[in-house]
Amino acid sequence: MTAGEANAYRPIRFLLDGKLMSVAPDDPTRTVLQYLREDLVRTGTKEGCAEGDCGACTVVVGELHDATVRCRAINSCIQFLPTLDGKALFTVESLKRPDGSLHPVQQAMVDAHASQCGFCTPGFVMSLFALYQETQAPTRTEINDALAGNLCRCTGYRPIVDAAEAMFRATPARESLSELRAKLQSLAGQPALAFASTDRTYCAPTTLDELAAARLAHPEARILAGGTDVGLWVTKQHRDLPALIYVGNVAAMKRIARTATHLEIGAGASLTDAAAAIVGVYPEFAELLRRFASPPIRNAGTLGGNIANGSPIGDSMPPLIALGTSVLLRKGATTREIALEDLYLAYQKTALAAGEFVAGMRIPLPAADSVFRTYKISKRFDQDIAAVCAAFRVTLRKGTIADARVAFGGVAATPRRATQCEAALTGAKWNDATLHAAMAALDRDYAPIDDMRASAAYRKLVSRNLLQRFYVESTTPDVATSVVEMTP
């Protein structure tokens, strides 16, 4: 019996301002924002874009993490309400103290005149509240990064960043979340959430075996992880998703471990957590992961979702392919392992069989004599989709390239290795002549398209230039790796 059949009508249970909310499930794709504004008339949380881009709808979700409550900003406009089950929700209305005084974040925003029309302000306050809860004294860059998912049309951001710095100088001690933690612990023991109506099913298994069984029982169901792709199919494309299997409550899917040879990351690990683990092993990955969407998207979105979604301009795949990553695909009790590049068959078509799901990824640890770089080219630094994403890894032995792995995104229907470029590199001395032969071979590897992000000609040129940049950086290691941005 799948989780769905076991508990067909348990309500969705989560905490709001520390109080238990019990919500009868109806449409599993109803968003947190719709629930807040329409059911609870908590209209402090705004709707701007309904696609995770502007931050006006930012709320904070508290989850048990080890012995603490971890508070993370997410976009409520693309988050489905049932995914709150077992969690704590904070909205801008949650922050005012019982005595009516403002939270240090709110007070700092008032003191710094960090709001004009005020439409964006609740979203900023919630991103800063999450930062306030999770850090002690962030740098200006960390504050800027924390706000990368919030757009303001009026203030020019300066007073908002000033307010962020000021709130950390404020003295009030952080409120203890121990009571909330105890309540979350009591919720943690509740049975898996699942409900079915005449035309809707939602199932949130809590173990890998339950997930595998649910997947076999409902091969037609859409797997839902962080919802940062799936959410937009509902809010922007108005697609109907009658059957969902939510992987976010399967702790084993969020497991991150380092073995003697690999970094193993569960498909359900958030991009935030996956990035922290990956950058610990591959610091060259940091720039790209910092530029992957925004913190609310990375907090909700998963690495497995990026890989399974298989977008031609998915940021994680080219570097993971260059690093020789394999992906674990599970069906029932059987798990198979394939090279990540073999997952992609054609545009938006993967090798996932019916009843299979992505269970995790295995990234080889760095080899002593290999050099790795990855670069994202996009119009904006933050919160932008790549025009081109490139990744290179060469193994050098006495100046000769013993092994080369080159992968690109944004230049073909799927993320893909540049096999002709690799052939021109492998076995050759890493010198100017080889570089130019490899650049010519790269031209033959891809036939990019023109689109709103870049022309085909630009994509070809920048791909060659990135290979040359890699050559410079891998042959003169003290060259600082800086950001290559597309000039407007």
Instruction: Report the residue from 249, 302, 325, 414 that binds ligand FAD according to the rule CB under 6 A.
Output: 302
Q: How far is the CB of 472 from ligand FAD (least distance, A)?
A: 26
Q: Is 247 in the site for ligand FAD (CB under 6 A)?
A: yes
Q: Which position has the token pair 């590897």?
A: 445
The phi, psi pair for 87, rounded to 5°, reads: -115, 175
Q: Is 23 in the site for ligand FES (CB under 6 A)?
A: no
Q: Which is nearer to ligand FES, 57 or 64 (CB)?
A: 57
Instruction: Report the residue from 91, 228, 325, 463 that binds ligand FAD according to the rule CB under 6 A.
Output: 228
Q: Which does 154 bind (CB under 5 to 8 A by kind): ligand FAD, ligand FES, none?
A: ligand FES
Q: Which does 57 bind (CB under 5 to 8 A by kind): ligand FES, ligand FAD, none?
A: ligand FES
Q: Is 320 in the site for ligand FAD (CB under 6 A)?
A: no
Alpha-helix runs per DSSP H in 15-75: 32-34
Q: How far is the CB of 281 from ligand FAD (least distance, A)?
A: 19
Instruction: Report the residue from 2, 29, 75, 434 that binds ligand FES according to the rule CB under 6 A.
Output: 75
User: Each residue of 402-431: b (16+ CB within 10 Å) or e?
Assistant: ebbbbbbbbbbebbbbbebbbebbbebebe
Based on its alpha-carbon atoms, the radius of gyration of the chain, rounded to whole angstroms, reads 23
What does the alpha-carbon distance between residue 41 and residue 19 come to, in Å, rounded to a whole number?
17
Q: How far is the CB of 315 from ligand FES (least distance, A)?
A: 19
Query: Which of these segments, 79-87, 117-125, 225-233, 431-439, binds ligand FAD (CB under 6 A)?
Result: 225-233
Binders of ligand FAD among residues 254 to 283 (CB under 6 A) are 267, 271
Return the SS3 of 376.
strand
Which of 267, 235, 238 lies closest to 250, judged by CA? 267
Whole-angstrom CA distances from 82 to 67, 220, 248, 295, 462 are 24, 19, 11, 21, 43
Which of 184, 152, 196 lies closest to 88, judged by CA? 184
Q: How far is the CB of 271 from ligand FAD (least distance, A)?
A: 6
Q: Which position has the token pair 């019916």?
A: 354
Using H for helix, E for strand and C for coil, what is the string for 387-428?
CEEEEEEEEEECCEEEEEEEEEECCCCCCEECHHHHHHHCCC
Which of 407, 436, 412 lies closest to 424, judged by CA? 436
Do the Cβ atoms of 389 and 407 come closer than 8 Å? Answer: no
Q: Which does 125 bind (CB under 5 to 8 A by kind): ligand FAD, ligand FES, none?
A: none
Q: How far is the CB of 95 from ligand FES (least distance, A)?
A: 18
Give the full edge-to-edge strand order of the sheet including 370-377. 370-377, 388-397, 400-409, 416-417
Return the SS3 of 65.
strand
The phi, psi pair for 210, rounded to 5°, reads: -60, -40
Do the Cβ atoms of 194 and 202 come closer than 8 Å? Answer: yes
Q: Which position has the token pair 């200006």?
A: 140
x/- map, 343-382, ligand FAD, by CB under 6 A: --------------xx------------------------
Q: Which does 338 bind (CB under 5 to 8 A by kind): ligand FES, ligand FAD, none?
A: none
Return the SS3 of 385.
coil
How many beta carbons lie within 10 A of that of residue 247, not counting itself?
A: 26
What does the alpha-carbon distance between residue 54 and residue 44 come to, in Å, rounded to a whole number?
15
Q: Which is nearer to ligand FAD, 32 or 225 (CB)?
A: 225
Q: Which is nearer to ligand FES, 120 or 163 (CB)?
A: 120
Instruction: Report the residue from 77, 81, 358, 454 that binds ligand FES according to the rule CB under 6 A.
Output: 77
Binders of ligand FES among residues 148 to 187 (CB under 6 A) are 152-155
Q: Which does 170 bind (CB under 5 to 8 A by kind): ligand FAD, ligand FES, none?
A: none
Q: Is 222 in the site for ligand FAD (CB under 6 A)?
A: yes
* Helix (H), strand (E) at residue 288: helix 286-290
Q: Is 54 in the site for ligand FAD (CB under 6 A)?
A: no
Q: Which is nearer to ligand FES, 125 or 192 (CB)?
A: 125
Residues in contact with ligand FAD, counted by CB under 6 A, come to a total of: 31
Q: Which does 150 bind (CB under 5 to 8 A by kind): ligand FES, ligand FAD, none?
A: none
Instruction: Report the residue from 43, 107, 309, 465 that binds ligand FAD according to the rule CB under 6 A.
Output: 309
Q: Which does 208 bind (CB under 5 to 8 A by kind): ligand FES, ligand FAD, none?
A: none
Residue 171 DSSP one-character state: -
x/- map, 107-146, ligand FES, by CB under 6 A: --------xxxxxxx-------------------------
Instruction: Report the residue from 4, 25, 28, 52 that binds ligand FAD according to the rule CB under 6 A.
Output: 52
Q: How far is the CB of 247 from ligand FAD (least distance, A)?
A: 5
Q: How far is the CB of 35 from ligand FES (least distance, A)?
A: 14
Give the full edge-to-edge strand order of the sheet including 334-339. 256-258, 262-266, 356-364, 326-331, 334-339
Q: Is 50 in the site for ligand FAD (CB under 6 A)?
A: no
Residues that bind ligand FAD (CB under 6 A): 51-53, 222-230, 232, 247, 267, 271, 292-293, 297, 301-302, 304-306, 308-309, 314-315, 357-358, 385
